[in-house]
A and B are shown apart, each in its own frame.
Chain A
Amino acid sequence: MTEILILRSGFDFNGIYGFFDEFMPDSLDWLVFLITSLILAIVIINAVVLSTALLTWFERRLLGRFQSRLGPNRWGPFGLLQPIADLVSLLTKEDTIPEGADKPIFTLAPIVFLAPALIVFSVIPLHGGSFLGNLNVGLIFVIAITSINTLAVFMAGWSSLNKYAMFGAMRAVAMLISYEIPMGITVVAVALVAQTLGLSDVVLAQDIPYILVMPLAFLVFITAASAEMSRTPFDLIESDSELGAGYHTEYSGAKFALLQLTEFMAPIIVAALVTTLFLSGWRGYGPIPGPVWFVIKTFIVLFGFVWIRASWPRLRVDQIMGLAWKGLLPLSIINLFVVAIEVFIFNPGENGLSTTDLWIMTGVNWGVTIIAIFAIFNLLGQSKSERPVPVISPLANMYANTNTVKKITDLAEAE
């Protein structure tokens, strides 16, 4: 009975609220609200934590294969129980707080870090609607909520009275704020094309996935997003070769577990967002249901993240800031500008842009993307990669004491 009801009304806030409201007196509305929230909270937290656990396994296993080693393989089939073993190990460790640390903030930081990540999940549309129903300002909500992370990282770094942590925190603040700007501007472009701010409506508007329509926006978004979650090549917040562990140097035990959990949650959130905004969300073909499409697409994006993590080194802090302000910001503005003009020309009515319009936009945007990227690379000086030819310094002659003087003439001739 309940199952049918939930399915019919959609598993979201309104649905559950309506289900309980039916047999509760009006005076108990607050109770209904509470129950609904609790149920949702439990469902979201469990779903997110489980998928995060799966992601840690997936990432470590895949990284292992990329690096021609095995990855976790001891616990359970194919090491699937490894996250649980890790969790037990972390929770049983002593939870230390360094002497001189700002205790309340130190304790609060992991929670502030975790909460926004969980909240964002409530608006991601898995199929038609999200846990919170179809929030009509979903895009703004997501952008607003994710920026709380900056605060948490700074709290953690500042309060732990550790210079490495402080370095990580300062870097985090500078970097995360810079990258929020290009990210926000690309999201505006998406909203402009979709003519809506609701995440579900963005998906519904994507007759052509926006990765095709706006490749430039996709590139900027995914770069900015990987900076936002501080992954390679932007992982300087916790760059292990420089800072040891960055902002969570002093954390251990359960608090560290929370921080790690959130850190691994971030790729899922970003991948889900990318899927929603650019890969047409749950929409797919054939008999495969929507949520499955959604998960497949998310996993493809996650695979890309892991692949990049396995392949590239990290940029320096000033280069990262330079990339944000000199590279991504102009690119995102160009993209917004072009898209705005196109939308202005096509002048969509009530039903949004037609498929033909989108195809035309696709063609134009690809051209703009290629030109813009070339221009930016040239401006940033990447084309000047020629190195001077090595010249033998006259300061030392290693053939002085040997009979192989002939060699030197050989070399001179070769040059």
Chain B
Amino acid sequence: MPINTQPVTINLGPQHPSTHGVFRLRVTFDGEQVIDVEPVFGYLHRGTEKLAEERNYVQIVTLTDRLDYVAAMTNNLAYVRTVESLTGIEVPERGMYLRVISSELQRIASHLIATGFLLDELGAFHTPLIYCFRERERILEMFEMLCGARITVSYMRPGGVLQDAPTDFWPRLDDFLTSMPGYLDELEGLITENEVVLARTRDLGILSAQDAINASITGPVLRATGVQWDLRKAEPHEVYDRLDFDVPIGSVGDTFDRYYVRIQEIRQSLRMIQQCVAQIEPGPVRSKAPYFIRPDSVDAYVGTESPKGELGFYIVSDGGISPYRMHIRAPSFINLTVLRELLIGWKLADLIVIFGSLDIVVGEVDR
């Protein structure tokens, strides 16, 4: 006797523990198997691009904090670099070093969150997550020293950074740099060799290099496929050309590689910060830039390597004090283009894990 079966359609999200905010996936299941996925987004749309048209160039910095809200520093950096390329404002040396230090710290924090939540989605009862948050907490405390806030930092300004680091910042940073590798080893001991993690993530959701490039994917997700592409090396900005670091890549392009590339990138970031601390010299941190910037050029696009991928700002100016149009190339959003192809054929539990390994932040997807 044939058994009548029919596919089940489930709304995963917008309120779901594992959708990284308010993201909605309409998934059709055959049993536990995913046969169709339709991402629905826009639940966190705040009209950042439109809001930017009514604010002057400094005020927009506060908007960029809220794009990828776990990596505000790199958002700031991407934005102010665009404004600088639009206007030709110079940045003093120390300002550049402080920018690199803070954005690499932010990269560590963001990757820690990605790792922690990936493990949470794998079902580890919050332990790796809380260990990750514990280390991230120390970074956030340092951000508080730099700029008075922990998440929405608004630290960078066109022409440098807001203010110099306080004297007690440097011992804290040294302390962090010395202890972090040990903590990272410990975290890896909990995850990297764990059989359950390996069984769950290995060869799961494989993305080929070809597909990744065709879909314009950037960041750790791209590097996990074996493509060595990092804007910090490809178009060195700030002081990245003075720093010695590797660009880790993955071997297969599966979920485990995406996790492991992030862990290796944390180590590289620590290396970079160490070199920055050794190289930084006293001096001004912010060049004299007018508060109301009136750019001469018409438009500029600058892409910056944010923790999620290439975060680009495209600004069109009509010479006024606020942009005529601002467009954000959000890496989280563009990395989602392969979501459907990645998910189909896997099980419900894998769906959550693959989705988590892409590491999106809905604030950036919906903007």
Residues of A within 8 A of B (CB): 63, 66-69, 163-164, 166-167, 232-233, 235-236, 239-244, 309-319, 382, 385, 387-393, 395-396, 398-402, 404, 407
B201-252 contacts to A, CB under 8 A, are 202, 209-210, 213, 225-230, 233-236, 241, 247-252
Contact of B234 among A167, A242, A393, A401 (CB under 8 A): A401
B130: interface (CB < 8 Å): yes
Contact A392 B228 (CB under 8 A): yes
Contacts of A385 in B (CB 8 A): 198
Contacts of B227 in A (CB 8 A): 392-393, 395-396
Contact A400 B249 (CB under 8 A): no
Chain B residue at minimal CB-CB distance from A400 = B234
Q: A315-B196, A395-B227 are in contact. Are A241 and B121 (CB under 8 A)?
A: yes
Chain A residue at minimal CB-CB distance from B253 = A393
Docked complex Cα distance between A389 and B252 (Å)? 9
Contacts of B16 in A (CB 8 A): 244
Contacts of B248 in A (CB 8 A): 390
Contact B200 A395 (CB under 8 A): no
Docked complex Cα distance between A148 and B236 (Å)? 65
Contacts of A317 in B (CB 8 A): 32, 347-349
Greatest chain A CB density within 10 A among B120, B227, B235, B248 is at B227
Q: A68-B134, A385-B198, A401-B234 are in contact. Are A310 and B127 (CB under 8 A)?
A: yes
Contacts of B127 in A (CB 8 A): 66-67, 310-311
Docked complex Cα distance between A370 and B32 (Å)? 35
Q: How far is the CB of A137 from chain B (nearest CB, A)?
A: 37
B337: interface (CB < 8 Å): no
Contact A395 B209 (CB under 8 A): yes
Chain B residue at minimal CB-CB distance from A233 = B196
Contact A235 B10 (CB under 8 A): no
Docked complex Cα distance between A315 and B357 (Å)? 17
Greatest chain B CB density within 10 A among A314, A318, A395, A407 is at A395
B352: interface (CB < 8 Å): yes
Docked complex Cα distance between A25 and B236 (Å)? 98
Residues of B within 8 A of A (CB): 8, 10, 16-18, 32, 119-127, 130-131, 134, 190, 194-200, 202, 209-210, 213, 225-230, 233-236, 241, 247-252, 347-350, 352
Docked complex Cα distance between A313 and B209 (Å)? 29
8 CB contacts below 8 A, A to B, read: A166-B8, A167-B348, A312-B124, A315-B123, A319-B200, A388-B252, A393-B249, A396-B213
Contact B123 A239 (CB under 8 A): yes
Contact A390 B226 (CB under 8 A): yes
Greatest chain A CB density within 10 A among B131, B202, B228 is at B228
Docked complex Cα distance between A359 and B3 (Å)? 54
Contact of B347 among A235, A318, A399, A402 (CB under 8 A): A318
Chain B residue at minimal CB-CB distance from A67 = B130
Q: A163-B10, A317-B349, A401-B234 are in contact. Are A392 and B196 (CB under 8 A)?
A: no
Q: Total A-B pairs in contact (CB under 8 Å)?
A: 135
Greatest chain B CB density within 10 A among A242, A309, A404 is at A242
Docked complex Cα distance between A316 and B226 (Å)? 27
Greatest chain A CB density within 10 A among B234, B249, B347 is at B234
Contact A313 B234 (CB under 8 A): no
Contact of A311 among B124, B210, B247 (CB under 8 A): B124
Docked complex Cα distance between A68 and B228 (Å)? 37
Contact A392 B348 (CB under 8 A): no
Contact B197 A398 (CB under 8 A): no
Q: How far is the CB of B262 from chain A (nearest CB, A)?
A: 14
Contacts of B199 in A (CB 8 A): 315-316, 319
Docked complex Cα distance between A312 and B128 (Å)? 9
Contact B18 A399 (CB under 8 A): no
Q: How far is the CB of A398 from chain B (nearest CB, A)?
A: 4
Docked complex Cα distance between A63 and B127 (Å)? 8
Q: How far is the CB of B203 from chain A (nearest CB, A)?
A: 10
Contact of B125 among A63, A242, A407 (CB under 8 A): A63
Chain A residue at minimal CB-CB distance from B226 = A393
Q: How far is the CB of A158 from chain B (nearest CB, A)?
A: 14
Contact A402 B251 (CB under 8 A): no
Contact of A241 among B120, B225, B230, B350 (CB under 8 A): B120
Chain A residue at minimal CB-CB distance from B356 = A241
Contact B226 A391 (CB under 8 A): yes
Docked complex Cα distance between A241 and B125 (Å)? 10
Contacts of A315 in B (CB 8 A): 123, 196, 199-200
Contact B197 A313 (CB under 8 A): yes
If A398-B247, A399-B234 are given as contacts, then 12 extra A-B residue pairs at C-beta distance below 8 Å, sorted by A number, are A63-B125, A166-B8, A167-B348, A241-B122, A243-B348, A309-B125, A317-B32, A388-B251, A390-B248, A392-B226, A393-B225, A396-B227
Q: A163-B10, A313-B200, A398-B229 are in contact. Are A235 and B209 (CB under 8 A)?
A: no
Contacts of A388 in B (CB 8 A): 251-252
Contacts of B198 in A (CB 8 A): 385
Contacts of A389 in B (CB 8 A): 251
Contact B251 A391 (CB under 8 A): yes
Contacts of A166 in B (CB 8 A): 8
Docked complex Cα distance between A399 and B247 (Å)? 12
Greatest chain B CB density within 10 A among A166, A313, A393 is at A313
- The 4 A-B pairs at the shortest CB distance, nearest first, are namely A314-B123, A313-B122, A398-B234, A313-B124
Docked complex Cα distance between A332 and B228 (Å)? 49
Contacts of B134 in A (CB 8 A): 68
Contact A67 B126 (CB under 8 A): yes
Contact A244 B10 (CB under 8 A): no
Q: A239-B349, A311-B124, A393-B226 are in contact. Are A399 and B130 (CB under 8 A)?
A: no
Contact A312 B352 (CB under 8 A): no
Contacts of B200 in A (CB 8 A): 313-316, 319
Contacts of B202 in A (CB 8 A): 387
Contacts of A313 in B (CB 8 A): 119, 122-124, 194, 196-197, 200
Contacts of A63 in B (CB 8 A): 125
Q: How far is the CB of A309 from chain B (nearest CB, A)?
A: 5
Q: How far is the CB of B204 from chain A (nearest CB, A)?
A: 9
Docked complex Cα distance between A321 and B272 (Å)? 46
Q: How far is the CB of A415 from chain B (nearest CB, A)?
A: 12
Contacts of B230 in A (CB 8 A): 398
Q: How far is the CB of B316 from chain A (nearest CB, A)?
A: 25
Docked complex Cα distance between A388 and B224 (Å)? 13
Docked complex Cα distance between A310 and B194 (Å)? 13
Docked complex Cα distance between A181 and B187 (Å)? 36
Q: How far is the CB of A248 from chain B (nearest CB, A)?
A: 15
